Structure 1
Amino acid sequence: MDDFSPSSPPAETDTGYRRKPEWLRVKLGTTPEAAETRRTMRRLKLNTVCEEAACPNLGECWSKKHATVMILGDVCTRACAFCNVKTGMPRAVDPLEPAHVADACAEMGLEHIVITSVDRDDLPDGGAGQFVKVIEALRARAPNTTIEILTPDFRNKAKSAVERIVAARPDVYNHNLETVPRLYPTIRPGARYYHSLRLLEQVKALDAQIFTKSGLMLGLGEERLEVQQVMDDMRSADIDFLTLGQYLRPTPRHAAVARFVPPAEFNGHAAIARAKGFLLVAASPLTRSSYHAGADFARLQAARSARLA
């Protein structure tokens, strides 16, 4: 059996969920460090995508005091079929949020921080200005911390939205394509595949020193060759870092899981991606955009240095 031969039955049926395979079972538990991380987030009135997106790695990451902060509130203006974040009309942008993010970073002693956000189609700049303010606050309060951002697509916003963020010079700019183009109408209906791809291409054109990163969820019904075509598209846009993880259905209202992709298949995808020239590839059932982000940033730097040498 080769790496891409399905070794598990369809993940779900019309009558309900199947049990997750062994490779997706995570012990949740808690630790004093995780509880302290939660208290810090609540005290500073910060949201985290770890909680809002029901990330399976929350316990592990929070125990290491790693939390992905979600700025611009906890209500999204989009309604993607895969996402657990609330949808509706968001509240006003919190002017104290950038300082609170910087305080949390300093208090937790983070060497690398990941900042993401909900989509804010209601704002003229899509929230780009708040990203800039957060980056500036982090540079002032925690100058030795490297900064990774995971932004929305800023669709129908001025080109300057991305330009402003790039000018603030985050160390890593991430924007996830999420799935293959064929599935966009049902999985990511408010977005456009080629717009997202061009956003990442624009980042590289504006500042080639910023690492670019993007990811896909597998198990939504995509075909192997479609995944490889997305890899080619990403490399054409000079994306440095690819992440691949298993889609997990947050609630019965969300898109069903078509298949639980076995670890061997993730390994096969990763081998092909490396051969296509990505500086770094993270591929496993539990891989998420910010999972092990600090260690991955060090690996990105080392990979770039080795390639230049």
Structure 2
Amino acid sequence: MQTTTSSTVATPIAQRKPPWLRRPLPQDRRFSQLSEDLRGLGLATVCRSARCPNIGECFSSGTATFLILGDVCTRSCAFCNIPSGQPGPVAGDEPFRVSRAVARMGLRYAVITSVTRDDLPDGGADHFARVVRQLKAELPGLAVEVLIPDFQGSRAALETVLESGVDVLNHNLETVPDLYPLVRPQAGYARSLELLARSRDWAKIRNQVVHTKSGLMLGLGETREQLRRVFADLAAAGCAILTMGQYLAPSVAHHPVIRYLPPEEFTELAELARAEGIGTVFSAPLVRSSYHASEVAHATCASMAKS
């Protein structure tokens, strides 16, 4: 892997996407129907907002990751396609609309994420909790995964979400700490790790089953040794599930792709992460945080039951 420092960017590649990253455009009726249903309910998805390469597969199979708290983010991460600016007011009926969509889709596992709302006193934590409670009340037996921002390190905000009854608490590190100034300038590596550790500790103290999860994008300029240290940090913080996928720049204005990793390298890195102590690792070029989230969570539960 090419190396980089916190003050310089490694040279971007000038090649076309390799064949393992190309996905066919969605054309089936189920994709169109789900898109229409979500639009009719006024709901956003990170699948579309973040230009996920798996949108065709997921929508066509009847799944999606809901994006709550609006579609404008208060932060400006260099990798993200979601617009940055001043968000609008929080929609009080959004929990009901999300619940209606999940019921229509017949989901048994729902994934909820959001833009970062640093403009709100609690970062949107109470709204997250309202969505989870509404889902749990209306759809008994539904498992809920949340992919949350860092809430600027607020322990109270984090606990508000945990107390709502989530099954999987996901918070992405996204990249190695040396790249944070370039890629996540408004975030903090230590703060994100602390959030995961606090989630683990909260679950232990209350004897609750909440699996912690995180994700990394590869190809931003990180080195293998930097990744190994991140794996060790995640394991020490109690992270049970790790996803890793290839970073794809949404536009030329975003952080460039430094390297396309071949599929076999993702397999090697997964083995390295497991060796550092992370129980479940889902690593492949097109893997994203909530890709096949239900299957990954079930695999984690099965693994822990055997241990």
TM-score (structure 2 length as normaliser): 0.94
- Summarize deviations over 1:189-244 as a string: whole Å, max 9, x none: 00000000000100111014200000110000000000010000000001000111
Structure 2 matches for 1:36-115, cutoff 5 A? 36-115=33-112
Cα distance in 2 for partners of 1:192, 1:61 equals: 31
Q: What is the aligned counterpart of 1:28 among 25, 29, 54?
A: 25
- Summarize deviations over 1:66-112 as a string: whole Å, max 9, x none: 10000000000000000000110000000010000111111100011
Deviation of 1:12 (Å): 4.0
Please tell me the residue identity of whatever aligns with 1:274. R
Aligned residue number for residue 251 of structure 1: 251
Aligned residue number for residue 284 of structure 1: 284
Please tell me the residue identity of whatever aligns with 1:97. E
Measured on the aligned residues, the alpha-carbon RMSD in Å equals: 1.5
SS of 2:95's partner is helix
Deviation of 1:31 (Å): 1.4
Please tell me the residue identity of whatever aligns with 1:207. A
- Summarize deviations over 1:100-142 as a string: whole Å, max 9, x none: 0111111100011100000000000000000000001001111
- Give the stretch that moved more between structures: 298-307 or 90-99: 298-307
Retained in 1: the 8 A contact 2:26–2:57? no
Structure 2 matches for 1:44-193, cutoff 5 A? 44-155=41-152, 158-193=154-189
Cα distance in 2 for partners of 1:181, 1:94 equals: 35
Retained in 1: the 8 A contact 2:41–2:97? yes
Name structure 2 gaps, 5 residues minimum.
3-9
Aligned residue number for residue 211 of structure 1: 211
Aligned residue number for residue 240 of structure 1: 240
Moved over 2 A (4+): 10-13
Deviation of 1:169 (Å): 1.9
Name structure 1 gaps, 5 residues minimum.
none
The sequence identity of aligned pairs, in percent, is: 47
SS of 2:88's partner is coil
SS of 1:155's partner is helix
SS of 1:87's partner is coil
SS of 2:152's partner is coil
Deviation of 1:249 (Å): 0.3
Cα distance in 1 for partners of 2:25, 2:127 equals: 33
Deviation of 1:11 (Å): 8.6
- Summarize deviations over 1:237-288 as a string: whole Å, max 9, x none: 0100011100000011100000001111111001111222222100000000
